[in-house]
Amino acid sequence: MPPSMTIDSETARGTQQAESQGAVIPRTQQDDNDNTNNDTGCTRPSDDDEMFVSPPFSQQQLQTGMGSSQRVDVSVKKRKYTPALDKDTKQAIYARLKSIEYQLRVTYLLHLTDEARDDLVRHYLDDIEGGDAEYVREYAASRIMGNCSNWQLRCIDNLIALNRKMCRESAMYKNCRDLVSIRGEMKDKYSPQLFVEIFDFASEYIDVAGSGKDVQKWCKILFIELASRAKLVVDYESDPNSKRVSDNDRPSFISWFKTLCNSTKFRDYRPNPRNIKRYIKPRASKRGRKEKRAFVHPDDDDVDVYVPSD
């Protein structure tokens, strides 16, 4: 063993005995030298330094001097407690949300965002009480937000798919790059039936054709504007060698989709929700009553019946 590492056994036993009795053992110069990192000048943590934590730097970082002024916060933040909802509670929330599904779809038609989710939850689930009432409302709001996200995704995919189909069917439309001309094509293409096919969250819930004129106008301008913008996305994605305009990529189109209804140019056209007609599913036709079969009767005049003679 090197001389610097030799420890006198008597000294070691005396030191341990003194420490066990609560005595404070003064440090020597050699102790301070031993606790010093010769590479960085940082003092190594001793057993008494309980609040000091050495940062987990690599050997290369230590050799370059990093770590002398940096410390790592190792305090672990407590995770927010999330109460677990039982199956019955989740089913009750689902049933309550199903009861306001029409209102949610109407709201989404008017805004194309989930910004009204908190108002819907506050209005329709305000009567919930108990210790977990606030979490139940948050859970319901998250379900609404998830529905709106799915509707947005499907609408955008449908708009892009419509443009790709039109490009396959018409070379003239495929080569059209002028937004004004594209809007003209979409204006001719529009119909209430096509609207609910593209914006399928309204299918079998909102009767666009039977709604007020302000509602029909709103749906038409939404279709024309968003479908025309989707054509620019198709052009952007189909021709990588052309001059790529960053405002025509898919993320930009998603942003346009979410902000269009609240823009100053469009919000004045937002219709009165009372003028939106709810779609009523036709009742399944009842089976007609089977007609009673008319059997031949012996007393019918045109029936030949054997009459015995005398």
Alpha-carbon gap, residue 46 to 182, rounded angstroms: 75
What pLDDT, on a 0 to 100 scale, did the predictor assign at position 62? 40
CA–chain centroid gap for 168, Å, is: 32
Token pair belonging to 213: 């004129």
- pLDDT tens digit string along 29-54? 544 455 445 444 444 444 444 433 44
Q: Which domain holds residue 254?
A: 89-278
Give me the number of domains the chain comprises: 1
Token pair belonging to 104: 């949610």
Q: Is 7 part of any domain? A: no
- pLDDT tens digit string along 63-75? 444 444 444 454 5
Higher pLDDT, 229 or 306: 229
- At 244, the pLDDT band (50, 70, 90 cuts) reads low
Token pair belonging to 158: 């449908």
Q: Is 12 part of any domain? A: no
Percentages helix, strand, coil for the chain (3-state, rounded to 5) are 55, 0, 45
CA nearest to 112, candidates 223, 207, 235, 2: 223
Give kind and range of the element (H or E) at residue 278: strand 277-278
In the predicted model, is pLDDT for residue 214 greater than 90? yes
Q: Is 288 part of any domain? A: no
- pLDDT tens digit string along 57-111? 444 544 444 444 444 454 555 555 455 667 777 777 778 778 888 999 999 999 9
Alpha-carbon gap, residue 36 to 48, rounded angstroms: 15
Q: Is 3 part of any domain? A: no
Average pLDDT score, the chain: 76
In the predicted model, is pLDDT for residue 224 greater than 50? yes
Q: Is 14 part of any domain? A: no
Q: Is 261 part of any domain? A: yes
Q: Is 105 part of any domain? A: yes
Q: Look at the pTM and tell me if it is higher than 0.75.
A: no
- pLDDT tens digit string along 257-269? 999 999 998 988 9
Q: Is 257 part of any domain? A: yes
CA nearest to 221, candidates 181, 261, 254, 258: 261
Give residue 54's identity as a one-letter amino acid code. S
The three-state secondary structure class of 17 is helix
What is the mean pLDDT of the segment spanning 263-281? 92
What pLDDT, on a 0 to 100 scale, did the predictor assign at position 295? 75
Query: Which residues, including other chains, have CB under 8 Å from residue 40's CB and lie 6 or more apart?
Result: 62, 65, 67, 68
Burial of 236 (0-12, 13-18, 19+ CB in 10 A): buried
